Amino acid sequence: MHFDVLTIFPELFTSFRSTGVLGRAVEASLIGIDVHDLRDWADNRWRQLDDEAYGGGPGMVLQAGPAIAAVRQLEGDHGPGRTVLLSPRGRVLDQALVAELAHEDRLCLLCGRYEGFDERVSAILGPDEVSIGDFVLGGGEVAAMVVVEAVARLVPGVVGDPASVASDSFTAGLLDHPSYTRPVEVEGWPVPEVLRSGDHERIARWRLERSVEATVTRRPDMIKDNWARYPAEVRALVRRYAPELDPERR
Ligand code: ADE
């Protein structure tokens, strides 16, 4: 998987692309992250990309020409890929969209600032517009990092222990179970006995129960959305903890 990021603040990505799991994946050439300064495609010697909005109002708009030229040049250099424009107006990112994006060989991530890009970037390039949630950031850079981090985890080899990639079909659509490490007691709170029993079957069962319990109490909306993919054991647990959430109940 190769990521090309287009931004007016490339320095924001310096430590991001070289640290931790992502840094190791880049080192091992499992993924590539190239960050490009959009100003390199500016059409004036001041490298200015923003201009006033037609119709007036506060805030500047990023010109269409440089962004379109940048995406086309990268496509010419590296072959076609999917272009993702980060915007609060986009489709809200979830694990299904992350998995879809992870199938691509190349993603070109366009980061807006100010009032965003001139609308003709969308009209002409037809990018996937993606939002990371219903709130407004100062720009698309942090959102692009979210996309890179979530997608990269699904690239084989990036996460050392594949079992910890939660796209595991059994627990997909459930919140994670709670985790504990040493010491055995913190301020009078012990680690649940079952986790120290060494009985792997009991531990797996306990973890699945805690996952279902957390999901029905914290995110009941996820139950309805994911019902079709739950195995029978998960459905039975949902019926036990929150029978009213069973969509097959009459
Ligand atoms: N740019 C500004 N806000 C954003 C958001 N919520 N998601 C993606 N890009 C953004």
pLDDT in tens, 44-87: 999 999 999 999 999 999 999 999 999 999 999 999 999 999 99
pLDDT value for 26: 98
What CATH topology corresponds to 167-245? Trp Operon Repressor; Chain A (1.10.1270)
115 noted as active-site residue: yes
Task: Give the span between the Cα atoms of 17 and 200, in whole angstroms.
Answer: 37
| pLDDT at 189 exceeding the cut of 70 | yes
Outline which parts of the chain fall under CATH 3.40.1280.10: 2-152
The residue count of the chain comes to 250
Helix, strand, or coil here: 114?
coil
Outline which parts of the chain fall under CATH 1.10.1270.20: 167-245
Task: Give the span between the Cα atoms of 200 and 202, in whole angstroms.
Answer: 5
Tell me what percent of the residues of the chain surpass a pLDDT of 70: 98
Instruction: Compute, in angstroms, the gap from residue 92 CA to the centroid of ligand 1.
Output: 10
Q: pLDDT confidence of 168, banded at 50, 70, 90? A: low
pLDDT value for 171: 74
> Which of ligand 1's atoms lies nearest the C-alpha of 93?
7
Q: In the structure encoding, which two tokens stand for residue 15, read together?
A: 């430590």
Q: In the structure encoding, which two tokens stand for residue 220, read together?
A: 């009941």
Among the listed residues 75, 104, 115, 209, the single catalytic one is: 115
The C-alpha angle 37, 41, 42, rounded to 5 degrees, equals 105
Q: In the structure encoding, which two tokens stand for residue 136, read together?
A: 């407004």
Is residue 131 in contact with ligand 1, taking CB distance under 6 Å? yes
- CA nearest ligand 1 atom 4, residue: 88
Q: What is the pTM of this model?
A: 0.94
149 noted as active-site residue: no
pLDDT value for 161: 84
Among the listed residues 52, 119, 168, 221, the single catalytic one is: 168
The percent of the chain in helix, strand and coil, each rounded to the nearest 5, is: 45, 20, 40
Instruction: Compute, in angstroms, the gap from residue 248 CA to the centroid of ligand 1.
Output: 37
Q: In the structure encoding, which two tokens stand for residue 10, read together?
A: 């490339």
Mean pLDDT across 215-236? 97
pLDDT value for 95: 93
Q: pLDDT confidence of 167, banded at 50, 70, 90? A: very low
Is residue 88 in contact with ligand 1, taking CB distance under 6 Å? yes
**Where are the extended beta strands (E) located within the chain?**
2-7, 32-37, 50-52, 60-62, 82-92, 106-111, 128-131, 185-186, 189-190
Is residue 133 in contact with ligand 1, taking CB distance under 6 Å? yes
Is residue 135 in contact with ligand 1, taking CB distance under 6 Å? yes
Is residue 143 in contact with ligand 1, taking CB distance under 6 Å? yes
Output the CA torsion 173→133→141→76 (10° steps).
70
156 noted as active-site residue: no
Mean pLDDT across 148-174? 85
Instruction: Compute, in angstroms, the gap from residue 41 CA to the centroid of ligand 1.
Output: 23
Instruction: Compute, in angstroms, the gap from residue 128 CA to the centroid of ligand 1.
Output: 13
Q: pLDDT confidence of 114, banded at 50, 70, 90? A: confident
Q: pLDDT confidence of 166, banded at 50, 70, 90? A: low
> Which of ligand 1's atoms lies nearest the C-alpha of 136?
3
CATH architecture for residues 2-152: 3-Layer(aba) Sandwich (3.40)
